[in-house]
Amino acid sequence: MKSDRSWIPGATELDWIDGLAGPVPAALAAIEAAAAPEHIPIVDRDSGRVLAALAVGRRRIVEVGTAYGYSTLWLALGQPADGTIVTIDPDRTRTDLARGWWRQAGVPDERITVVTARALEAFAAGQAALAGPFDLVFIDALKPEYVAYLEALVPRLAPGALVLADNVLWSGRVADRAVDDESTAALRAFDAAVLRDPRFTATILPVGDGLLVAGYRG
């Protein structure tokens, strides 16, 4: 058993894993190419592959924050063919582009529902598409609202659901007590709250920008 921190995975290991996994589908590559020059935030491939793996067997997924639909597509490619995703984002221009890439990947329109609204407003309005129960949640939107998203989602979770959240290490800023801007402080509080919450069994994977994984006890 490895019992110290004398070695941690680095770029060499990540490149090796990426090589084993092989090329990403063309639609995912197209989103990557479109997002970079526009500075559209998307998860990295390592996190995307984790999302796809965790989506296996999860038939009802809700995502907070769509952007170009990159993480949405990873989730859709991992879940069963009869699975559905509800994804929330107020920017219709971006989600219309996302729909085109989902179609390119062969995902039928009926599998992904887009709620065009701010997430907290959509939850408060009681939109039918967000009624649940959901067996997987992915949060990747406004960082100061993470705790509020989670509390809005808990009544909509099925027992055994997974809650995933991106950016929870925030490029190292969360662990640095000298950094205390609004987003960093909010993410720090969110991480601590979920890992100490008896409703969940949770951990943080040091993949990408930090991926929180929490199993809901129900």
Q: What is the mean pLDDT of the chain?
A: 95
pLDDT digits (tens, 9 = 90+) for 77-86: 999 999 999 9
Q: In what order do the strands lie in the sheet with 200-205?
A: 112-115, 84-88, 60-64, 134-139, 157-166, 211-216, 200-205
Q: Which pLDDT belongs to residue 2?
A: 67
Contact 44, 70 (CB under 8 A): no
Query: Nearest to residue 209, comparing CAs of 143, 136, 157?
Result: 143
| pLDDT of 3 over the 80 cut | no
The Cα 31–Cα 77 span in angstroms is 15
- Whether 205 has a pLDDT exceeding 80, the answer reads yes
pLDDT in tens, 101-142: 999 999 999 999 999 999 999 999 998 999 989 999 999 999
pLDDT at 158: 97
- Measured from the Cβ of residue 135, the count of other Cβ atoms closer than 10 Å reads 21
Has residue 90 got a pLDDT over 80?
Answer: yes
pLDDT of residue 14: 87
Local structure of 7: helix, strand or coil: coil
- This prediction has a pTM of 0.95
pLDDT at 4 over 80: no
The architecture in CATH of the region 11-216 reads: 3-Layer(aba) Sandwich (3.40)
